[in-house]
Structure 1
Amino acid sequence: MELHLKITGILLIILALIHIAFPKYFNWEKEFRPLSLMNRQMMRVHTIFIALIIFLMGLLCLTSFNELTEPGLGKKIILGLGVFWTTRLIIQFFGYSSELWKGKTFETIIHIIFSLLWIYISSLFWIIYFS
């Protein structure tokens, strides 16, 4: 399990760093222009904090296997991570319209990759929690 938790840590850190490219990749400069200043800034600030919390989750997984697998606070943190990533898995299928990826090769591949990633991560946390 320790190896899987470290792999997850690395994957989460990479995922957090990918957020740096979001504004350019998703063309936020143009897309956000019609939004109010508050909404534009809120999207940017929330993206930064989402990336930060994902980075910190990754760091925790990478450095704290023993602490996370011990009864008490460690198991409670693992439970929270399991709930968080299982919720993200559910949102992958019910929070995004399939119009965003169906019939589009690249987008379908990304959808499948991230679906598998959320399954892997959430399953790992549940396995650790119940072991």
Structure 2
Amino acid sequence: MLLKDKIAVVYGGGGSVAGAIARAFAREGAVVHLAGRTMAALQAVAEDITAGGGQAHPAVVDALDESQVDAHAAAVIERSGALDISVNVIADQDVQGTPMVEMSVEDYLRPVEVAVRSKFLTARAAARQMI
């Protein structure tokens, strides 16, 4: 098991790509903390992981909210004693399929801003705990 006893946080953990990453981490022995906006989706991934013998802890976290991200990272440390891996697979898909000629500048930039802000906040929170 490549990740035996490692503690992983997967942001966007209820999504298809992040869920697959979380399941793979769990199969390799990691304790997985799933973070995202929708508990039902997070819970479905957590149930798959636990059904396969792994450990998963879902939590509703808005990865665009600095205080929520920092609090969640601290909670991971409190619950599991470490934070070894942090993966952010958050993407804003609101504009997928919309012709550019119908978009506002704000619509066009939103996925970029969401990705950059969430990746910075989640990476910084993890780094602070890893130090």
Q: TM-score of the superposition, structure 1-length normalised?
A: 0.34
Higher relative contact order (CA 8 A, sep 6+): 1
Larger Rg: 1
Q: Larger % of helix: which?
A: 1
Q: TM-score of the superposition, structure 2-length normalised?
A: 0.34
